[in-house]
Amino acid sequence: MCGGMAGRAAAVSRGPCGPWLCLLVALALDVVRVGCDQDPLDPVYLPAALELLDAPEHFRVQQVGRYPPANSSLGSRSETFLLLQPWPRAQPLLRASYPPFATQQVVPPRVTEPHQRPVPWDVRAVSVEGAVTPAEPHARVLFHLKGQDWPPGPGSLPCARLHATHPAGTAHRACHFQPSLGACVVELEFPSHWFSQGSTTRAELAYTLEPAAEGPGGCGPGREEDPREQALPVGGVELRPADPPQYQEVPLDEAVTLRVPDVPVRPGQLFSATLLLRHNFTASVLTLRIKVKKGLHVTAARPAQPSLWTAKLDRFKGSKHHTTLITCHRAGPSGPDSSSPLEQSEFLWVDFLVENGTSGGVAVTRPVTWQLEYAGQAPEAEKDKMVWEILVSERDVRALVPLAKAEELVNTAPLTGEARRVPVRLVTVDSGGALVEVTEQIGCESANTQVLQVSGMCQPRVSMRSCAQ
């Protein structure tokens, strides 16, 4: 394939153009290199122009202070190219021109593709849950295509199938990548018999890619054979018997403590707050005044021990606030108690209801004001009020995930004079597997502006200051 350019010059001028350029293509990691004969004895070289076509991001690389390359001669040329995206959608072309002559050839796939490429798509998998319980038995995994562009239309994108393997069995479910984000979410429910009563177990997650098909969500039913040989790992999820309830306790005074849920609530949801009373509480009447804004209602007051206490509920509606007055009367003497008089036990349950459509599509806080009144109360506590804020959200957001076309930024500014930019999109993963972009509502910022700068539209770029260094 290699021949002396000088010895063939006359033959070329007398006949049609033939493959007279000597081009050897070699691979060193992700570097495309066109080879030649041997080091020349003088700086005379073939003045042909070499360029790489159909490669999304590439750069010509040369040794500082030395041009042409050491192994160039009159009969051959050598150039080195760096491919930043080693999986181009189209196979690159190497073009050589020496006017009026030109030729080109396809760069072999082994030069541009990593060895043992597992799938034709570059996919990032993000596991949302690290642990699940029987009350919330769903594992959610977000799949995102990165590092490439894809043709428009849903038919061109594949499905991601999530496989869960547990000592009690296997389960799987698929989602179809959506063209708008190049992402989808699988929400997989674990069977109830996977959960152990007294111990924590573990399920391993992996995924496979498959073509889109006719069926629910654009994916096929899946196959029953063991996918572990060809599946790519995602990680593990702990299956716990139960999680302790999430709540916080706030003292209303030295004798009464309020226990409230420490989780967001949704419109239409019922939830309860609990009052705890010291065992040495002696007053026979306790009055609880609760003030809430519109959209939140006190629906009931239930004594924890109806044989000892009764509760009467009165409501007063205002233009902006509703006030509820709960009057508790001691119904009978408490029995002998061997516990410490300073210990507390549940005394009253107060039920609340959040109206539908009260959050306006976004998470909002609803203040609830509590005030106690009873005989023998400390004078400084009689006028004390405690404000508890409830977070109301129409969506059950489980995670906020950044989607970037590339997870690495190669600083090519010294070569191009332009800062490198990578757009980032922020999405939320909701209960039910919904995926919502929230980039404009949230925004981004850089942890180190000396190295990475971020625009208002979440476009990170390498700092020019770091480029100069």
Dump pLDDT digits (tens) for 393-416: 877 788 888 888 776 666 766 666
Measure CA 82 to chain center.
Answer: 31
**Does the residue 353 lie in any domain?**
yes
277 and 340: one domain?
yes
95 and 215: one domain?
no
Confidence category of residue 257, pLDDT binned at 50, 70, 90: very high
Residue 136 to residues 129, 243, 272, Cα–Cα distance (Å):
10, 10, 20
Number of domains in the chain: 4
pLDDT of residue 326 exceeding 90: yes
Among 392, 421, 445, give the residue marking a domain's end. Answer: 392
- CATH label of the domain that carries residue 326: 2.60.40.1510
Name the β-bridge partners of 293. 321
pLDDT of residue 351 exceeding 90: yes
258 and 157: one domain?
no
**Does the residue 210 lie in any domain?**
yes
- CATH label of the domain that carries residue 79: 2.60.40
pLDDT the model gives residue 208:
92
pLDDT the model gives residue 213:
80
Nearest residue to 119 via CA among 142, 145, 140, 93 = 145
pLDDT of residue 329 exceeding 90: yes
Indicate the average pLDDT of the chain. Answer: 77
**Does the residue 220 lie in any domain?**
yes
**Does the residue 78 lie in any domain?**
yes
Q: CB atoms < 10 A from the CB of 439, how many?
A: 16
404 and 375: one domain?
no
Is the bond into 68 cis (omega within 30 degrees of 0)?
Answer: yes
**Does the residue 117 lie in any domain?**
no
Q: CB atoms < 10 A from the CB of 113, how many?
A: 16
205 and 263: one domain?
no
Task: Give the burial class of 359: count Cβ atoms within 10 A of its Cβ; 0-12 exposed, 13-18 middle, 19 or more buried.
Answer: buried
Q: What is the pLDDT of residues 54-84, one digit of tens each?
A: 776 777 776 666 566 656 666 777 778 777 6
100 and 155: one domain?
no
Q: Which residues span the domain enclosing 52?
A: 6-112
72 and 206: one domain?
no
**Does the residue 402 lie in any domain?**
yes
Measure CA 76 to chain center.
Answer: 50
360 and 312: one domain?
yes
- CATH label of the domain that carries residue 215: 2.60.40.1930
d(CA 262, CA 235): 29
258 and 386: one domain?
yes
pLDDT of residue 239 exceeding 90: yes
98 and 137: one domain?
no
**Does the residue 118 lie in any domain?**
no
Q: What is the pLDDT of residues 18-61, one digit of tens each?
A: 443 333 333 333 334 444 444 545 556 777 888 888 776 777 77
Among 239, 270, 289, give the residue marking a domain's end. Answer: 239
267 and 213: one domain?
no
Among 331, 363, 392, give the residue marking a domain's end. Answer: 392
371 and 260: one domain?
yes
The DSSP-derived string for 356-410 is: TT-STTS-EEEEEEEEEEETT--GGGTT--EEEEEEE-SS-EEEEEEEES-S---
pLDDT of residue 152 exceeding 70: no
